[in-house]
Structure 1
Amino acid sequence: MSAENTNKYLTTREVATFLNINEKMVYSLVNDKGLPATKVTGKWLFPRRLVEEWLESHVLNFQKTGIDRSSNDGILLMAGSDDLLLQRLLSLYYRKGLGIVFFANLGSMGGLKSLRMGLCHIGTCHLLQDDNAEYNFDFAREELERTPVFVNFSRREQGILLQKGNPKGIHCLADLAKKGVRIVNRQLGTGTRLLLDYEISKSEISARMIDGYQREVGRHLDAGLEVLSGRADAAPAIRAVAGLLDLDFLPLRWERYDLLIARERFFEKGIQDFISLLHDQEFRDIAASFTGYDVSACGKMLFPDNFQGRE
């Protein structure tokens, strides 16, 4: 390919840099948002002109606003990825008279965006980085202007929910493309969806081969209920849902789920009360009642190497 033609096409890394996103998000945009791409050479290539036209077609005008309310007012605002154990913690926070928590289930990327726009006090996310080892740091670096405080909530096991007894014989991701298998997926922008998109991109199948890949639900529990009801044969979610609904489970990996806190709010009483609750024995007992969680590092601050926001 000539130098002139090479400049007309972008690699996955180059298009990620051009769009200012993580590389794994590129696969999601191809599958769900129609990002122009070709794999005719065996590797993904993106026509620069078509990418620019695609980007322009997705421009939206919106009003950027923020909140002035302190968490000391008794109201804590959270946004991001949903979690079964987190919901129990929010109830415990209220029962102990510490305040009321409003949680917006926007997915991990939505939590980061809400934190950037000042629309929440705490964002929750579990976004796997390109190094396949760390979580959240690179995404926060790309999205946030100031370095947040990272506090671990848990490690949890991600995988594929299956009907009890696994009647469709699903033993690996490739089996999701078998005839007669229907899935339900998670929404674009969630860490669970990002993980599945990435794992599928590495496999011998494509998202287009999977029946139901574009059918989305908002929560892990919603995914589980679709499988339990028989409306889907499989769905990506955490093991805790399989335990709760007595479903079979195909494990993919353990992941880290973090709380990201705006550092200017970190020492507010409402925030500190919430973090203190992570060490409460009642909460630890609740965590022990779930399958698929590891809370040994829960409540610990995390310090990425050489992390700097875009200041």
Structure 2
Amino acid sequence: MTNQMSYTTEEIAALLKVSKLTVYDLIKKGDLPSYRVGKQMRVDDADLEAYKNKTKSGIAAVQEDPSAYMESKTIVITGQDISLDILTKHIEKNTKNIRPLRSYVGSLDSLISMYKGDSDIVSTHLLDGDSGEYNLPYIRKLLTGFHYVVVNLVIRSAGLFVPKGNPKQIYTWRDLKREGITIVNREKGSGARVLLDEQLRLQGMDTRLLKGYDCERSNHIAVAGMVALGEADVGVGIEKAANIVSGVEFIPMIQERYDLVMIKSPQNMEWIAQVMNILKSEAFLHELTSVQGYDLSLTGTIMYES
């Protein structure tokens, strides 16, 4: 190799046998000097060799504090609830080698991304209408062949958003099929969409007869907002969103379990233990307590372990 050579981030990741995210993290922290050629980041061979030599010289220090030189682990946390943002903040603050990234997708898509290896901590609130059980029937089907742990994050109230005063007198799932009722829906794969579809199935209601069924919004606040603006008579969501959006009342229908799923592979066990400690920590629970609408009686409790 010569000092005139340079490498792309992909080439460095292959040479060091680390992920591209780790390379970007080294560049961001200044450990690996880089420069840009067009849209591409490049690192000179001399700087790469200097970094490798510096790392080698730190072997003795590793024996004193192994975590100081341990490769940073990036974990992807999926879901849309604010409790996940709080968890992410506590992971960043209380761990040395975990780098959490947030992905804002629905429950079913989160489990599919975990199956594909694209997510590390997924949140889910999926109701199985036949058993009345949350999450586990879906997790067992989608994560066949995996070893995993399911931990409760919060319990929260889910139900119907209606305009102030509830002018259409909507109180039950069967009320949705009355003539003149327009709904606003969540996107396919979201927990709220599964809740609605399961209730409609149990009531024997044809979704094709529901006005607005194909009108989808990507989060609870957007659904509540459409109801508040008079663009829909009813939508499905969580109580917290109704407390945020003015002009909306909340009709509670069910207490849903909002759980986390983590894959128990050998390389994951160390950070899973750290996350479990955070879930049970006084600081984390205290911050969750400040958010209205959460039941924390099961927070940090293992609901299932395979």
TM-score exceeds 0.5 = yes
Q: Are positions 1:189 and 2:193 aligned together?
A: no
Q: CA RMSD in A?
A: 2.7
Counterpart CA distance in 2 for 1:155 and 1:258 is: 8
Give yes or no for contact 1:243–1:290 (8 Å, CA) kept in 2. no
Q: Counting strand residues as a fraction of each chain, which structure ranks higher? A: 2
> Is the partner of 1:168 in helix, strand or coil?
coil
AA at the equivalent of 2:153: F
User: CA 1:286 to 1:223, structure 2 compared with 1: closer, same or farther past 3 Å?
Assistant: farther
Alignment of structure 1 residues 118-197 onto 2, 5 Å: 118-129=117-128, 131-144=130-143, 145-197=145-197
For the pair 1:90 / 2:92, whether they are aligned, the reply is no
Task: Tell me the residue number matched to 2:208.
Answer: 208
**Aligned equivalent of 1:224:** 224
The answer to whether the Cα contact below 8 Å between 2:129 and 2:198 also exists between their aligned partners in 1 is: no
Q: Aligned runs of 1:52-91 on 2, under 5 Å?
A: 73=72, 75-79=74-78, 81-91=79-89
Instruction: Select the structure of larger CA radius of gyration.
Output: 2
Is this contact kept in 2: 1:129–1:135, CA < 8 A? yes
Cα 1:91–1:217 shift into 2, 3 Å: farther
Deviation of 1:238 after TM superposition, in Å, equals: 1.0
Displacement of 1:97: 7.2
The number of residue pairs the alignment matches comes to 237
Conserved 8 A contact 1:105-1:218: no
Matched AA of 2:258: Y
| Structure 2: distance between partners of 1:152 and 1:211 | 35
Asked if the contact 2:240/2:293 (under 8 Å) is kept, the reply is: yes
Paired AA for residue 278 in structure 2 = L
Superposed displacement of residue 93, structure 1 = 3.9
* Alignment partner, residue 283 of structure 1: 284
- Deviations along 1:94-148, whole A, 9 cap, x unmatched? 4667665322233211111111111111111122235534322222221112121
Q: Distance in 1 between matches of 2:161 and 2:129?
A: 25
Q: For structure 2, which runs of at least 5 residues remain unmatched after alignment? A: 1-17, 23-69
CA distance in 2, matches of 1:232, 1:101: 37
Give distance in 2, aligned partners of 1:129 and 1:202.
11
- How far off is 1:92 after superposition? 4.3
- Kindly indicate whether the alpha-carbon contact (under 8 Å) linking 1:149 and 1:301 is maintained by their aligned counterparts in 2: yes
SS of alignment partner, residue 175 of structure 1: helix
Q: 1:289 to 1:73 in 2, by over 3 A?
A: same
Name 2:243's counterpart in structure 1: 243
1:184 Cα shift? Answer: 1.1
* Residue aligning to 1:60: none
Q: TM-score, normalized by length of structure 1?
A: 0.67
- For the 8 Å contact 2:151–2:304, the answer to whether it is kept is no
Give aligned-pair identity as a percent.
Answer: 30
